[in-house]
Amino acid sequence: MNDIQQKIYNRFVQYVSVETTSDPTSKAVPSTPSQISFAHRLASEMKKVGFTEVEVDEYGFATGLLPTNTDKKAPVIGFFAHMDTVCDYNGKDIHPILHPNYDGGTLTINADKKMFLSPQTAPNLKLCLGDDIVTADGTTLLGGDDKIGIAVIMTLAEYLTAHPEIKHGPIKAAFTIDEEIGTGIGYFDVERFAADFAYTIDGANLGEIDCGNFNADSVTIRITGKSCHPGSAKGFMANPVRIAADIISSWPEDKLPETTDGEDGFILFKDITGGLEKAEVQGIVREHDLTKFEQFKKMLTELVEQKRAKYPAAKIELEFKEQYRNMREILKEKPQAMELLEKALQENHVSYRLTQARGGTDGSQLSLRGLPTPNIFAGYENPHGPYEWLSLAWVEKTFHILESIAKNAIK
């Protein structure tokens, strides 16, 4: 492990020791108070590594400016990473395990639970011979998504401050809230941040660059039924549980997450709650093409209308809420961010893929609000679960790509 990797790793271990799980059921902003306290902790560190104008705003966004050290003209570049971890798996008491100098064999995550990683279960490990690999201990997720992104940005600022001979323009950093539930970045003040373009450091595998993403809505189906004794239910009862099951099972099987890939869209029905009086179905709608996306929503609307006719005694309500939209067209219209990124990738000899993410990042909303923001890989894999891992060599590549972007932006 070289000096850059060591500094990033040390920061990462400190960051993941702080539990910052976001909560999709919360009405607060941010959704959990731990994100606010973590933001203040990061703000203190930002001042130490060279950022000025550091602040934590009312919503919990920590921002700062690394001032230019050249008289030459340069755009204002933003680097983003999010503070929260996903609620789908335990994010408390994270204890990273360092596996030095990976030899190509099996990595033990947790022997007692018989949890292992190998090139058979994680094929990209084949690309990491000799790398230092980091995993969790089998009881939590790792938190590489996205605290490794924070560690990279902070270490880069420290490095540039310590090496004034490396000339760069103004660099802004933002550590953001509630990315995992898709709500936080809507509160971010893009105009006040005042960057020309930006990058989220929140992708996974080495070389993956997200310059497009799903259009995304959440969907809620609320069913109010009519309950009575089952012995006298004929012609009267409207069972919300059965109606919910009927709606879900009627959705086409070729338009589900488990039957689609690439740029194919889907609807995921992910939560059902309720009983004989009321039931609620929570889901998400995802599609890269906006026309197809609207067609998916129309199909579900028509399906629900059919069930209203089938179950006239029940009340069935359908609600869509916008989450984010595809940033692809914005990045084509304002190409500077992608041009600098591709040049940096080539300079650092990274074989890369321009992908349409089957998900979303804060960058998708930022782009649509006027701040072009593609997503750069951060070096982790298998996020949101106990088999998450990262390569510190991949992470260091991210560091050098950001350094190249900063240097090459000078005109």
C-alpha distances (whole Å) from 270 to each of 32, 84, 102, 248, 265 are 22, 21, 37, 10, 16
Report d(CA 117, CA 105) in Å as an integer: 9
Report d(CA 269, CA 70) in Å as an integer: 53
Q: Is 88 exposed, middle or buried (0-12, 13-18, 19+ CB in 10 A)?
A: middle
Report d(CA 316, CA 172) in Å as an integer: 47
Q: Which of 119, 100, 138, 140 is nearest to 5 (CA)?
A: 100
Q: Check: CB of residue 233 under 8 Å from CB of residue 103.
A: no
Report d(CA 67, CA 4) in Å as an integer: 22
Three-state DSSP string of 149-196: HHHHHHHHHHHHHHCCCCCCCCEEEEEECCCCCCCHHHHCCHHHHCCC
Report d(CA 361, CA 48) in Å as an integer: 28
* Helix, strand, coil percentages for the chain (3-state, nearest 5): 35, 25, 40
Report d(CA 99, CA 12) in Å as an integer: 15
| Catalytic annotation, residues | 84, 179
Three-state DSSP string of 311-328: CCCCEEEEEEEEEECCCH
Task: Name residues whose C-beta falls within 8 Å of residue 191's C-beta, 6 or more positions apart in sequence.
Answer: none
Report d(CA 381, CA 397) in Å as an integer: 15
The residue behind tokens 């990797």 is 5
Q: Which residue type occupies 357?
A: A
